[in-house]
């Protein structure tokens, strides 16, 4: 059974969002890392890049395939997780902690309301 | 509706992730491609290969027909021996690559790719119809009658005889299954039936492939998983099958091989016997061997840490895009991006600096001698 922490918001495309003040941390869910398995490469957006909600901005690669990661919210990338780029296995072992992808300064906080609640996300993944 | 092998329910029970592979619902992985890959390199793995096709060719003219149809010299086979070979069109392009076994005088079994069963059988029937001694020839697509398993890895030989304890009763006669040498095949009794076991595989490891009826293969699968457990056997999917064969540079039809590519260009010219007499495609292949050819399949390793190369990524040399990746993956054994691709022959020498374009950016790579991975 995949973990779905109750203090996060979720995108249909399997990213999670943790909001602290005006900044959101983004990663991929336990369900997503489990589906991908064996993550061997993580490509992160450049710091300073402005993203629109739903924009493809990172790539996660398993042995078998490359998958796009979409920003759940709009804003400017203020920090990326170099540790995950150096050790992509972190995304498998700690998807909600050490395996985060990037932090984004929100340009439209209202977008958060459009994201899934933990309950809705659980329902989507059949959990 | 996807086709299912007789092991479909066994895969479901093992929690396999199933994908569409050439119209077949096949396991791509059970736990993780990396774990399954390393199990085969270090211990043993078992694969369902029931989707592959089987064609039998028999009769007094079978040998001559196969020598006309295929590139390798089938006359080199004694009963109980097999060989890797290719089937080409008149342009020297590859219709399929396959294994041909001589089961007894005038009786041959061809193991062909799942995705190629229909075009192969149509091609073979057309060639048989035009063959002068067609009346001394019987060609049968037996793909529906057989299921198959591969058990691969350095420890496979330590437990396989727990399932097949007797001597062989057909093809290569041996007292013990593990007396089979590479590329030999024998018929072995198994629970009141007979299955064919060959010492072959598609992983670069020692191992065996087993062909039999659906019900025999279902029982062999369960039996091998049970006796192999203390030796670290793992069920392995097509994901690991692909990374294993890529590391040792075995071609996969649709990637390294197609109807517009010759075995010489693909780097499997060793299996083309130009001196055996005429065969389909010989003219072009002889010309290429004598006068050279323009593209060649090379193996490469990424120079640094990068995203894994994937099929269709452009290959660059000296600032120009010169070719395309045909197979590419992260190598679980080397923990590095590896692959194969076609480049103009002038860039095909090992240790040539090339670049792989990944999502619009170019990354350094170097061509290497095949195989990419070799056991020390």
Q: Tell me: the pLDDT tens digits for B286-331? A: 999 999 999 999 999 999 989 999 999 999 999 999 999 999 999 9
Look at residue A127 in the predicted model and tell me its pLDDT: 63
Q: What share of chain B has pLDDT > 70, as a percent?
A: 100
Look at residue B227 in the predicted model and tell me its pLDDT: 98
Q: Does domain B294-376 have CATH number 2.40.30.110?
A: yes
| Count of C-beta atoms within a 10 Å radius of residue B130 | 9
pTM, rounded to two decimals: 0.95
Which residues in chain A are closer than 8 Å to B28, comparing Cβ atoms?
Answer: 64
Whether residue A79 lies inside any domain: the answer is: yes
Whether residue A27 lies inside any domain: the answer is: yes
Residue pair B247/B203 in contact by the 8 Å Cβ criterion: no
Question: What is B53-143's CATH topology?
Answer: Alpha-Beta Plaits (3.30.70)
Confirm or reject contact between A41 and chain B (CB < 8 A): yes
Look at residue B72 in the predicted model and tell me its pLDDT: 98
Look at residue B189 in the predicted model and tell me its pLDDT: 96
Interface touch A41/B243, C-beta < 8 Å: no
* Counted domains in chain A: 1
**Residue B375 reports pLDDT greater than 90:** no
Which strand (E) or helix (H) includes residue B113?
none
Interface touch B33/A61, C-beta < 8 Å: no
Interface touch B28/A62, C-beta < 8 Å: no
pLDDT tens column, B35-91: 999 999 999 999 999 999 999 999 999 999 999 999 999 999 999 999 999 999 999
Disruptive mutation site among B327, B329, B335 for chain A (greatest number of A CBs within 10 Å): B329
**What distance in Å separates residue A37's CA from the closest CA in chain B?**
6
Each domain of chain B, given as residue ranges in start order, spans 8-50+146-245, 53-143, 294-376
Report residue B13's pLDDT band, with 50, 70 and 90 as the boundaries.
very high
Query: Would you call B158 exposed, middle or buried from its count of C-beta atoms within 10 A (0-12, 13-18, 19+)?
Result: middle
Q: Do domains B8-50+146-245 and B294-376 have the same CATH topology?
A: no
Cα B332 from chain centre: 20
Whether residue A74 lies inside any domain: the answer is: yes
Report residue A1's pLDDT band, with 50, 70 and 90 as the boundaries.
confident
**What distance in Å separates residue A6's CA from the closest CA in chain B?**
27
CATH number of the structural domain B8-50+146-245: 3.30.1360.120
**Residue A120 reports pLDDT greater than 80:** yes
Average pLDDT over residues B349-368: 97
State which residues form the domain around A68: 9-107
**Residue B363 reports pLDDT greater than 70:** yes
Which residues in chain A are closer than 8 Å to B310, comparing Cβ atoms?
Answer: 66
- Rg (C-alpha) for chain A, rounded Å, is 13
Disruptive mutation site among B15, B17, B244, B308 for chain A (greatest number of A CBs within 10 Å): B308
Whether residue A93 lies inside any domain: the answer is: yes
CATH of the domain at A95: 2.40.50.100
Confirm or reject contact between B310 and chain A (CB < 8 A): yes
Strand ranges in chain B using DSSP code E only, listed in sequence order: 17-21, 24-29, 44-48, 53-58, 81-88, 94-104, 107-112, 138-141, 147-152, 170-171, 185-190, 193-198, 207-212, 233-235, 295-302, 314-317, 320-331, 336-344, 353-358, 361-368
Q: Is the ipTM of this complex over 0.85?
A: yes
Q: What share of chain A has pLDDT > 70, as a percent?
A: 99
Which residues in chain B are closer than 8 Å to A87, comparing Cβ atoms?
Answer: none
- Contacts (Cβ under 8 Å, ≥6 apart) of B267: B249, B251, B256, B296, B297, B298, B370
**Residue B25 reports pLDDT greater than 80:** yes
Backbone angles phi, psi at B239, to 5 degrees: -60, -50
**Residue A112 reports pLDDT greater than 80:** yes
């Amino acid at each position: 059974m995949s973990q779905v922490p109750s203090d996060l918001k979720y995108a249909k495309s399997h990213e999670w969002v943790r909001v602290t003040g005006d900044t959101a941390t983004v990663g991929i869910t336990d369900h997503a890392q489990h589906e991908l398995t064996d993550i061997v490469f993580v490509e992160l957006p450049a710091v300073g890049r402005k993203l629109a909600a739903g924009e493809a901005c990172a790539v996660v690669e398993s042995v078998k395939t490359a998958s796009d990661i979409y920003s759940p919210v709009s804003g400017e990338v203020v920090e990326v997780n170099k540790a995950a780029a150096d050790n992509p296995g972190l995304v498998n072992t700690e998807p909600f902690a050490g395996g985060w992808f990037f932090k984004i300064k929100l340009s439209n906080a209202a977008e958060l309301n459009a994201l899934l609640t933990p309950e809705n996300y659980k329902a989507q993944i059949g959990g | 509706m996807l086709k299912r092998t007789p092991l479909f329910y066994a895969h479901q029970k093992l929690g396999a992730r199933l994908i569409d592979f050439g119209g077949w619902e096949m396991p791509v992985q059970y736990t993780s491609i990396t774990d399954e890959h390393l199990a085969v390199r270090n211990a043993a793995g078992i694969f369902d290969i029931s989707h592959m096709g089987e064609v039998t060719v028999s009769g007094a003219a079978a040998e001559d027909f196969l020598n006309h149809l295929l590139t390798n010299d089938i006359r080199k086979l004694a009963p109980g021996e097999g060989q890797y070979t290719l089937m080409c069109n008149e342009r020297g392009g590859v219709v399929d690559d396959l294994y041909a076994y001589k089961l007894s005088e005038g009786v041959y079994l061809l193991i062909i790719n799942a995705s190629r069963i229909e075009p192969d059988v149509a091609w073979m029937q057309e060639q048989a119809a035009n063959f002068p001694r067609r009346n001394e020839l019987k060609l049968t697509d037996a793909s529906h009658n057989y299921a198959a398993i591969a058990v691969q890895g350095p420890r496979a030989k330590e437990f396989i005889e727990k399932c097949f304890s007797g001597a062989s009763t057909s093809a290569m006669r041996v007292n013990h299954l593990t007396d089979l040498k590479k590329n030999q095949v024998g018929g072995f009794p198994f629970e009141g039936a007979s299955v064919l076991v060959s010492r072959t595989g598609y992983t670069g490891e020692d191992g065996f492939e087993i062909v039999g009826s659906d019900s025999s293969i279902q029982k062999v699968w369960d039996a091998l998983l049970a006796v192999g457990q203390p030796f670290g056997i793992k069920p392995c999917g097509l994901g690991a099958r692909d990374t294993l064969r890529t590391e040792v540079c075995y071609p996969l039809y649709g990637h390294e091989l197609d109807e517009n590519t010759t075995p010489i260009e693909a780097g499997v010219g060793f299996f083309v016997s130009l001196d055996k007499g005429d065969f389909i495609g010989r003219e072009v292949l002889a010309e290429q061997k004598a006068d050279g050819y323009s593209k060649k399949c090379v193996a490469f390793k990424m120079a640094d840490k990068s995203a894994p190369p994937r099929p269709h990524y452009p290959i660059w040399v000296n600032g120009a895009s010169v070719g395309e990746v045909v197979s590419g993956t992260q190598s679980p054994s080397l923990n590095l991006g590896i692959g194969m691709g076609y480049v103009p022959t002038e860039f095909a020498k090992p240790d040539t600096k090339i670049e792989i374009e990944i999502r619009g950016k170019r990354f350094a790579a170097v061509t290497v001698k095949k195989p990419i991975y070799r056991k020390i």
